Chain A
Amino acid sequence: MDLNNNNICTNGTNDEEPEDIKVYIRNVVCCFTSSCHINLRRLALNGYNVEYKQKTVCLKLRKPAMSAIIHASGSIWCTGAKSVEDARIGARRICRLLQKLDFPVKLSNYRVTNVVSTCNVQFKVNMAKLEKLSKEICYCPEINAGANFRVEHFKTTLTIYTSGSIIIRSPSVENTTKSISYVYPFLYQAKFNKPFANLTNLL
């Protein structure tokens, strides 16, 4: 399984040397249509690694490890790919599979809809400070330990945890890197200084 390393050089605003943040893509969701109606029953009876439930067929590929949900209309959703290239390869494999079962398949309208990736900014983030920095940040410790940062411009949601790990959900890899660069200054401002750095007597 390839780990897709996108090294971003971000200039930490007050740091001496730039830091490289490695972004690992965990999941790529894509969808396409086969441009033909698919007889799900025939597919379920003759296909390999196939489950038929709730009016859809769930087809699991072994390499690249992906699962596809196939509707009778021909629209297919693939999830589980570990990189964008793998997603494309998997989509084509599925179409080939369907072709072998004598469906007149033509892969069309292929698009990557969702890319889930993780990264770590290598410093601890102070949630209370972070929350005040932008209106787009929603932090409810009672519900979720992480703060949700919705960057509308890139259509990305980043979930930021105190340890510095971030989960990024975005429509494309490009958006992922752009939103990380966008968000990094906020995180840097909300960096945890040495614990108990400000000794204010609150009594």
Chain B
Amino acid sequence: MSRFSGTLRCESHPDAPLIEDHRAGDMICSECGLVVGDRCVDVGSEWRTFANDKESTDMTRVGAAEDPTMEGQDLSTTIGRATGSAGFGENGLPIYRNRNIETAAEKAKRKANREIKEMAERLSADQSIINAAQHIFHTVHKDKLIKGRSNNAIIAACMFIACRQQSVPRTFKEISAVANTTTTIKDIGRCYKIIRKALVSSQTPSSGLSSSSSSDLIERFCSKLNLPKEVKKLAFYIVNRVNDMPSLTGKNPNSLAASAIFLACDQTGNGNLRTAEEIGRVCGAAENTIKQTIKLMTPSLDKLLPPDFKKSA
């Protein structure tokens, strides 16, 4: 079985294609069945990873995935903690003290990442939102775009933007409820404006930072209130029609969504009735606000509802 060239081929059939037998690791001639080469190394993957397997370690990786927010610091190696007896001196203390010198920036970033993760858990947000928020914070922190503001407000604003970018917007009220107790909606709003300006100028126009409309919120609030699909559809329709009414444009999207849901419940009847208080609690709008907004809606109610709608008592 001497090989003159690097390629394998059968001696009697030099032009015959070779078939690879994966299980045995053989290269077999297709004409005569002669095993031409054996012990072929399989270069395929040793482990399999599945799409829903986020938490478990990926065995095909050698080392952790590159974290863009660390900027090359994760490529360096450190000496680990002492395990055997040789690592400890006479008095029982480790001989090599791993002085982990962390710059203030790294510390802040580490803390922010942790905060973002906690907030996401409270908001039941996805891993992709966490990653997006951490990335935004990293950008903001690296370019020192927000100097004077408190870190908590910045983190909350990053979270807000990340949720919006992933098309699952959370209202400012929800974010402030979930964030550190000292951050007010005003703080978050201010940070949001600054970050938004920076992101809009640096990214493509399709960064998805348009203002959140009430229609995005209807889906979520309706499912929280366990309302059937028809109510949801009706509320969605009402909220989209409300955009044409000048008297209601400046209103908080929370209250608009809440009033739309209330109206939808009211119109469909059939045990769908929810009190304004219930709806307000879920949507983050006061009961009186809902009532006031509905007062503004009722004059043009026939235009807000779909044309072929019949009120079911």
Residues of A within 8 A of B (CB): 124, 126-128, 131-132, 135, 138-146, 148, 161-162, 192, 195-199, 201-203
Binds A, one of B4-12, B76-84, B122-130, B192-200: B192-200
Chain B: minimal CB distance from A199 (Å): 8
B210: interface (CB < 8 Å): yes
| A139 touching B246 in the complex, CB below 8 Å, given contacts A195-B300, A196-B300 | no
Asked if residues A192 and B253 are in contact (CB atoms below 8 Å), the reply is: no
Contacts of B201 in A (CB 8 A): 135
Give the most central of A131, A132, A199, A203: most B CB within 10 Å. Answer: A203
A73 to B253 CA separation, bound complex (whole angstroms) = 49
Quick check: A197 and B252 within 8 Å, CB to CB? no
Pick the residue among A127, A135, A198 that contacts B249 (CB under 8 A).
A127
Q: Decide yes or no whether B151 CB sits under 8 A from chain A.
A: no
Q: Given A143-B186, A202-B306, list of 14 further CB < 8 A pairs?
A: A128-B213, A128-B243, A132-B210, A140-B192, A141-B211, A141-B252, A142-B212, A143-B192, A144-B189, A146-B250, A201-B307, A202-B236, A203-B233, A203-B306
Interface residues on B, range: 35 or more
Residues of B within 8 A of A199 (CB): 307
CB–CB B250/A127 < 8 A: yes
Using a CB-CB cutoff of 8 Å, which residues 196-237 of chain B contact chain A? 196-197, 200-201, 205, 210-213, 233, 236-237
- The listed residue with most B CB atoms (<10 A of its CB), out of A124, A142, A199, is A142
Chain A residues contacting B196 (CB-CB under 8 Å) are 138
Q: Which residue of A lies closest to B306 (CB)?
A: A203
Which residues of chain B come closer than 8 Å to A203, judged between CB atoms?
233, 237, 306
Knowing A140-B189, A142-B171, A142-B252, say if A195 contacts B243 (CB, 8 Å).
no
Question: Quick one: given A131-B210, A201-B307, A202-B240, are A141 and B253 in contact (CB under 8 Å)?
Answer: yes
